[in-house]
Structure 1
């Protein structure tokens, strides 16, 4: 078949094949619906079912999960299709996803072609866990994504409860919502993770809701997830189910290449908006200079005292090879390893990470520090931007300490010593949760 040369000496695509329509993706679209308020999530699911009679909602009741029992229901707007209780060998969320949730999606995609799927998550399940499992899970010898397309991740926020849950110091176990005996996650931690991984946030309110409070919740959600589209519902006595469905389903908003929240800054992506001029505040702190480990340790409680959320990456002078992840929610600070800085590795190992990370490192490479950099965000109400920035700056190495060099930094007093071991098994793409 002939090809057509262009004036630059290249070869164009064939004009006949160019005219053919793009191949239509026949896989069922999966909308993942999460949220910590069961009532608001249920109401949203019902509205979506009413808007589309071929939509199927899949729910998993984890009430008996700690005893290995799992109840699964599948329904349309008019019919209960399945109501099954199964027994799991290991009663945990990851086992539930691999052994029942994802296989159920694949099975329904095969047995009910033409029906889209609505996966309604229990309150304690974080949507990122679903995304991670779907990337690696194989069902009947084939990847899950061969059978279904994860179209969007939608989180429902109950505007009346959101601030209380975000400010709570309760653990899931305090509300009998933990998925396993060793599940020590905080309520606020789950709530922020649900919002931050979303493509769309449904702000569920009620008629007569305070408009100023609704605006505040919307502003806070925007600070937590500036990449998400917000949809406000419930402010009137009637709900437009079709309109809601149009705004949240088949949007194609999910980008499977987008890293989790702790990997965003490594790829040069924004983790917050630096803003000190409103009631809902984000403080964004960026620096090349490393933290003094002892001074940072001593300041953590003060730094997070008034914040609702903290996240980002940092490095400490005593462990200059290690990318540290920083998280704060529910009153607890977590630090964990994200692997090596590129500057600490031979160039031939850089291909172990994403193209985006290597590009970001190249664009901002420092002759002395390499790709080492701290990017932290603290989010809350009426945070003192100047005071927080001053406190963080005081934790950095001084000019005199900086002049001592890398070898001297490793000998600094370090309360984090031994907490973040790096081995050859630490690939620079993994994001070990703190």
Structure 2
């Protein structure tokens, strides 16, 4: 971006670790002129959760305000306040860059979407959406992504109903981001894992080795980011194994046999792995099902109808244990329907497949 640019460039920083988040933000503050940082945190030491917004630049703190939640909805309140704050900052005309540091464990996509929509419909003027950055603690990245910890066990949950794992939160940030910044003494395995998880078009660097001027000059492409995190998109070719990190892309036009899938769910979906993708079941052939797992947590759900897509099964699995790699490959092959079973697919329509608690009634999805 040149000095005559009429826009305030807004970079979004998402993180789970507070030190990683602040290290990434400090890189912008130290390396660019006329930068303002807008940081959000959760206020939990009161009867009802609230947001704390701090606006600061190199001259010090300009704003510090606690915001009550609208209808107890953290996401709605955050999006609304972000837009109001950006309007105010653009009107001041003092800064060329705004670094938006989201509350810890916040997925960046809804905030990026809200800003993009407000720019397009004219509610935000003088603003351009710069890249989304995921800041990761390189020392703990492997445990964070592949471990069993839940956010509430680390005091990071967004309310009592937030049962996400730490890995789920980290992956929602890393896999969506335009850039991944690894903070601290990152081991080779941690860097290898982040390379396997980041989007093919995203780059990985340390805060001390990133060209911030080049980064802030780029734009965040919302549709591209959504496409690369779409569970129905064709799987990308896996990156080469390195430093003990591997990725399997398991694909088939066949559905999973529901009873065998249920029996082998733990073999296929748990362990020190990150797994994501889609699948289908003969009992609900019109429904695309999604698969999302990290560490010991696995979530399956309904994405929606296949529409103009051919039903298929595709899982991308990343891990660091060679024994788990072979276990998962074997389990995947074992739960696919056989040639003989495929000859009688119609008999499965509407049958109780055991997945109603997660996917809804099979009879309504047939």
* Match runs of 1:254-403 below 5 Å: 254-258=220-224, 260=226, 264=230, 266-268=232-234, 270=236, 273=238, 279-343=244-308, 361=309, 371-384=310-323, 385-403=325-343
| Structure 2 equivalent of residue 183 of structure 1 | 162
Gaps of 5+ in 2: none
Q: Check 1:26–1:394 CA distance in 2 against 1; reply closer, same or farther (3 A cut).
A: same
| Cα deviation code 1:308-336 (max 9, x no counterpart) | 21100111111100011100014121111
1:246 is paired with a residue whose SS is helix
Whose strand fraction is larger, Structure 1's or Structure 2's? 2
Q: TM-score, normalised by structure 2?
A: 0.87
Deviation at 1:89, TM superposition (A): 3.2
> When the two structures are aligned, how many residues end up with a matched partner?
357
**The 10-residue stretch of structure 1 (153-162 or 65-74) with the greater mean CA deviation from structure 2:** 65-74
> Are 1:232 and 2:211 an aligned pair?
no
- Judging changes above 3 Å, is the alpha-carbon distance between structure 1 residues 48 and 287 closer, same or farther for their aligned structure 2 residues? same
- CA deviation map 1:346-396 (0-9, x unaligned): xxxxxxxxxxxxxxx5xxxxxxxxx11111011110334444222111111
Report the Cα offset of residue 244 of structure 1: 4.2
What residue is the counterpart of 1:56 in the other structure?
A: 36
In structure 2, the CA distance between the partners of 1:318 and 1:278, relative to structure 1 (3 Å rule), is: farther
1:249 equivalent to 2:216? Answer: yes
- Partner SS state of residue 257, structure 1: helix
Structure 2 CA distance, aligned partners of 1:309 and 1:66? 36
Residue 283 of structure 1: SS of its match in structure 2? strand
Are 2:57 and 1:76 equivalent residues in the alignment?
Answer: yes
Residues 147 and 320 of structure 1: is their aligned pair in 2 closer, same or farther, counting only changes over 3 Å? farther
Label 1:183 to 1:418 Cα distance change in 2 as closer, same or farther (>3 A): closer
Residue 112 (structure 2) pairs with residue 131 (structure 1): yes
CA 1:411–1:94: 2 relative to 1, 3 Å: closer
- The answer to whether the 8 Å contact 1:262/1:325 transfers is no
Under a length normalisation based on structure 1, what TM-score does the superposition of the two structures give?
Answer: 0.75
Runs of 4+ in 1 over 4 A off after TM superposition: 141-147, 274-278
Alignment-derived partner of residue 356 in structure 1 = none
Secondary structure of the corresponding residue to residue 223 of structure 2: coil
SS in 2 for 1:31: strand
SS where residue 316 of structure 2 aligns? strand
User: Is 1:135–1:144's contact at 8 Å kept on the other side of the alignment?
Assistant: no
Which of structures 1 and 2 has the bigger CA Rg?
Answer: 1
CA contact (8 A) 1:53 1:77 kept: no
Partner Cα distance (2:121, 2:47) in 1: 30
Matches within 5 A, 1:146-161: 146-161=125-140
2:356 maps to what in 1?
417
Q: Note if contact 2:241-2:247 (Cα within 8 Å) is conserved in structure 1.
A: yes
Contact map agreement 1:93 1:125 (CA 8 A) in 2: no
- Report the aligned-residue RMSD: 2.8
8 A Cα contact 1:53 1:76, kept in partner: no
CA contact 1:36–1:123 (8 Å) conserved in 2:
yes
Indicate how the Cα distance of structure 1 residues 191 and 280 shifts in structure 2: closer, same or farther if over 3 A, else same. same
In the alignment, which of 45, 67, 86 is matched to residue 86 of structure 1? 67
Which secondary structure does the structure 1 equivalent of 2:159 belong to?
A: coil
CA contact (8 A) 1:307 1:378 kept: no
**Distance verdict in 2 for CA 1:277–1:95, change over 3 Å:** closer
Please give the per-residue CA displacement for 1:13-40, whole angstroms capped at 9, x wherever unaligned: xxxxxxxxxxx97332111011111112
Deviation at 1:145, TM superposition (A): 5.3
Task: Quote the residue 1:214 is aligned against.
Answer: 187
